[in-house]
Amino acid sequence: MGWIVYILQCDDGSFYTGITPNLERRFQEHKEGRGGRYTSLHKPLMIAYFENFKTRGNALKRERQIKGWSRQKKENLIKGLPA
């Protein structure tokens, strides 16, 4: 089973980054308000970006890296531009 790092765009324009082994299920949980505190307060609109990883550890490292980035750097990643 692989792991996915994902970025959601929320209704207020903010981004939420997380990991999951099942992106469709997790996105549905976020939309239903069961995906965590942040996304229950900032409703997710869409999956803006995702990457696949073989291990949970590698996905966690990438998640932490992305969470430390500026908004502009995240937007560049989503657009496929150099971060």
Predicted confidence (pLDDT) per residue in 10-25, tens digit: 999 999 999 999 999 9
Cα gap 83→74, rounded to integer Å: 7
Pick the CATH number of 3-79 from 3.40.1440.10, 3.30.9.10, 3.30.1960.10, 2.40.30.10: 3.40.1440.10
pTM as predicted: 0.95
pLDDT for 36: 85
Predicted confidence (pLDDT) per residue in 25-79, tens digit: 999 999 999 888 999 999 999 999 999 999 999 999 999 999 999 999 999 999 9
